Amino acid sequence: MNFLEERILKDGIVKDGNVLKVDSFLNHQMDIALFNEIGKEFKKRFKGNKINKILTIEASGIGIACIVAQHFDVPVVFAKKAKSINLEGEMYVAEVESFTHNCKNQVIVAQKFLGEKDHVLIIDDFLANGCALQGLIQIVQSAKATVEGIGIAVEKGFQPGGRIIRNLGIQLESLAIVERMDSTTGEIEFRVQEG
């Protein structure tokens, strides 16, 4: 079991509706030493990839992305969410359905921060149905930039996002993949990963 799986077992709480609450260390209160370990691990897993930018989505991806970026020594761009936007200037826009909030958002990135020369590592805290990631991939494609890989802290392997993204042929690295969880017993089971 790796450091993140251990922490999820210790402090994660399984809620009804397939929601894993990790707000004591990941996406409300943030354990920066843990984020640093996450950064180190992604740096190892994407060692051979030429990465010059990290892309994430507000809000909960930003903290992790910033610490990961220190390990790659590259800037972070975060896609902004907007319910309805008056487009000003040149923007890339994608539509994203939110798993946790059950609504649709547009996500936007200013064109000046992403272009065809960029080799992008996408970082996010969770992968569930894959809508957030598909929106970010669409934005990278609109910019004619390259997705070098995707780093996720927690993937819920029983939801379809991971399969959808891997089928696109993108290198997707999830540090913890929850195979099964039960809100009545609180049990959490992880997928056994190689390495």
Q: Is 114 annotated as a binding residue?
A: no
Under rule CB under 6 A, residue 8 binds ligand 5GP? no
What's the closest the beta carbon of residue 133 comes to ligand 5GP, in angstroms? Answer: 6
Q: Residue 8: what are its φ and ψ, rounded to 5°?
A: -65, -45
Under rule CB under 6 A, residue 131 binds ligand 5GP? yes
Under rule CB under 6 A, residue 105 binds ligand 5GP? no
Distance CA 174, CA 113 (A): 26
Under rule CB under 6 A, residue 36 binds ligand 5GP? no
Distance CA 157, CA 130 (A): 11
Distance CA 53, CA 35 (A): 18
Angstrom CA distances, 158 to 55, 117, 155, 178, stand at 25, 35, 9, 7
- The residue (of 39 and 157) whose beta carbon lies closer to ligand 5GP is 157
What's the closest the beta carbon of residue 175 comes to ligand 5GP, in angstroms? Answer: 14
**Largest pairwise CA distance in the chain:** 51
What's the closest the beta carbon of residue 120 comes to ligand 5GP, in angstroms? Answer: 17
Binding-site member from 12, 151, 161, 162 for ligand 5GP (CB under 6 A):
161
Q: Is 20 annotated as a binding residue?
A: yes
What is the amino acid identity at position 73? D
Query: From start to end of 37-187, where are the E strands?
Result: 53-57, 76-82, 91-97, 104-110, 119-127, 146-156, 172-181
Q: Is 167 annotated as a binding residue?
A: no
Binding site residues, ligand 5GP, CB under 6 A? 19-22, 27, 60, 99-100, 124-132, 156, 161
Annotated binding site for xanthine: 20, 27, 156
